[in-house]
Structure 1
């Protein structure tokens, strides 16, 4: 029975005695009843103590004192900006936390004069065993891992304290974070470039070893690419033969020599293209119409009056903001050429004709 239970039992015994005494006086109990009540008031508390002791069994006094002793308040210490190693050399995590502990009474140990130092060392050792196995780019994930690992009370190496940590913050130095970001960008660009290189290699291998292996493979591939248009494929046989030979660094086979172009090294145009070119009329220009006018007037090719009149028409057209048409007329009828004595003669004849016709309008 604890001290509080004993105090409560004695208090209830005294209170019961007072109530019985009041009832006895008011009811005028006989005199022989009072000794019996006194004996009962002494026997009942003693019996209650005895029964409680038998139910409890033997208990050390030290344990009973611990139950009634006031609780020991835990103390705390703030760790700020402590560098912890990571899996990569020269990259460190920056660790901050609130360390909490309470002392453990143990016999044979010397008293602890600086429990905060022991608690901080214990927390840092527990945190370091985790961070030194983690990559620096995983700082946010490692922070939550540390929050779970350091949230439980564990004894320090000396056995004097039970230690834990809370409010954990784990970051990287700004310079290290920038380096990691640049490294990540380079790795991503390298991965993209590697995929592009493999794609180009695969495409070259496909074209060189499959499509352009020989002329027949190229013809089948080109026929499939053009939705089975046989005419177009046949028209491109010469080009495919040359392309296949160039891809394999060989000469065009003799059986395909007849397909090669005969002039200027250019493949002959398909028949349907020649027919379209011949049948389609050419659009007439202002120079054509002016040439027809000169022919109607009897000015034959090479007549200096054609050039003179063309210049005058060009000047009139420029006044109507048709500069492009005026330039076409000048290039058609007065092309630039080297100056010769013959050209000087023709220029003089043109000047005389201009003097004769200067008084009359052209139109």
Structure 2
């Protein structure tokens, strides 16, 4: 018995059933790591994994910013051939990868201070951590486990130099401080005996008696500081006011007439140390400060039991009626 041809709808149904079966098998195969083979038209194989290999780069000396110091560098070099190359060729890819990493590392370290090795290590690790094509275009390379340091002796030298620079900075600061003090003393305080006396008076809270005792010493200091002779105006103080107990003696200290005339320029034979002091301070005969100091010296003499000396000072430098006095007995303007 002969079979009659299939109806048209049956043929279409069979075709769709076969297509659905093939599609189901294709999806099932792609979801499994291993499976049966499919026709080439329905196979979707994944791209092969990159062929990444590694080689150890031992300690290598790289240049630094200073020609006398070099960094000690080590890393794990990771490399992979490019798409046009295969790792099975006769090319020494490991050597090319190491050379590529060294070139990249050297370009960075030769611009860095050797004293900052620990900081440069982190910078270098970031720069070498990316896969990059080498100069031959045959492989990609990057570095892991980057280590960078200075050899021990070099690190010790840098540490010593740093300490020396710190000490030198301190010494330079102290030297400038001492130099400023010397300039201040020589060109300001000890510029001349008069400046020295005023400075010493201010330093001792206006203690006139102590300052008067030290006038001779101050005159010597000023002259020595300026490599000059002691002015004749201050010569009487060298012997009469250096000892603490010699401020007030039985009589007012006097000089001979010639020495007095030479020291004061007034030609009066009865000039003494007080007159020389007033002249050295630049107090003219009409200057009220002469009377003020005379009053202060007179009070000191009275405290020391030398009323006669006090009266003589008042008679010579602040005679009654010569100047007006205020309620406290001091010259006006004091």
> Which residue does the alignment assign to 1:269?
244
Q: Structure 1, residues 162-184: CA drift from partner, whole Å, max 9, x if none?
A: 11111111111111112222222
TM-score w.r.t. structure 1 length?
Answer: 0.55
- Name the CA distance, whole Å, in 2 between partners of 1:159 and 1:65: 33
CA shift for structure 1 position 84: 0.8
Q: Is the 8 Å Cα contact of residues 213 and 247 (structure 2) preserved in structure 1?
A: no
Once the two structures are superposed, the pairs formed by residues 131-170 of structure 1 within 5 Å of their partners are 131-170=109-148
> Which residue does the alignment assign to 2:208?
230
* Other structure's SS at 2:243 match: coil
Q: Structure 1, residues 24-45: CA drift from partner, whole Å, max 9, x if none?
A: xxxxxxx997555324435778
Unaligned runs of 5+ in 1: 1-30, 49-63, 275-363
> Which residue does the alignment assign to 2:64?
86
Once the two structures are superposed, the pairs formed by residues 175-324 of structure 1 within 5 Å of their partners are 175-261=153-239, 267-270=242-245
CA separation of 1:257 and 1:70: change in aligned 2, threshold 3 A: same
> Which residue does the alignment assign to 1:117?
95
Total equivalences in the alignment? 224
Q: Structure 1, residues 150-199: CA drift from partner, whole Å, max 9, x if none?
A: 11111100011111111111111111112222222222222222222222
TM-score w.r.t. structure 2 length?
Answer: 0.59
Q: Is the 8 Å Cα contact of residues 112 and 160 (structure 1) preserved in structure 2?
A: no
Q: Structure 1, residues 291-321: CA drift from partner, whole Å, max 9, x if none?
A: xxxxxxxxxxxxxxxxxxxxxxxxxxxxxxx
* Other structure's SS at 2:202 match: helix
CA shift for structure 1 position 272: 8.2
CA separation of 1:273 and 1:106: change in aligned 2, threshold 3 A: farther
CA separation of 1:32 and 1:118: change in aligned 2, threshold 3 A: closer
* Other structure's SS at 1:82 match: strand
> Which residue does the alignment assign to 2:50?
72
CA separation of 1:93 and 1:211: change in aligned 2, threshold 3 A: same
- Name the CA distance, whole Å, in 2 between partners of 1:149 and 1:120: 15
Q: Structure 1, residues 271-298: CA drift from partner, whole Å, max 9, x if none?
A: 6899xxxxxxxxxxxxxxxxxxxxxxxx
Larger relative helix fraction: 1
- Name the CA distance, whole Å, in 2 between partners of 1:233 and 1:71: 98
4+ residue runs over 6 A deviation: 43-48, 64-67
CA separation of 1:181 and 1:69: change in aligned 2, threshold 3 A: same
Q: Is the 8 Å Cα contact of residues 143 and 170 (structure 1) preserved in structure 2?
A: yes
> Which residue does the alignment assign to 1:37?
13
* Other structure's SS at 2:71 match: strand
- Name the CA distance, whole Å, in 2 between partners of 1:210 and 1:125: 64
- Name the CA distance, whole Å, in 1 between partners of 2:218 and 2:158: 51
- Name the CA distance, whole Å, in 2 between partners of 1:70 and 1:89: 47
CA separation of 1:94 and 1:257: change in aligned 2, threshold 3 A: same
CA separation of 1:232 and 1:37: change in aligned 2, threshold 3 A: same
- Name the CA distance, whole Å, in 1 between partners of 2:188 and 2:19: 114
Give the root-mean-square deviation of aligned CA atoms.
Answer: 3.3
- Name the CA distance, whole Å, in 1 between partners of 2:136 and 2:44: 23
Unaligned runs of 5+ in 2: 1-6, 25-41, 250-334
* Other structure's SS at 1:261 match: helix
CA shift for structure 1 position 106: 3.0
- Name the CA distance, whole Å, in 1 between partners of 2:248 and 2:12: 142
* Other structure's SS at 1:197 match: helix
CA separation of 1:272 and 1:257: change in aligned 2, threshold 3 A: closer
- Name the CA distance, whole Å, in 1 between partners of 2:12 and 2:55: 65
CA shift for structure 1 position 47: 11
Structure having the higher Rg: 1
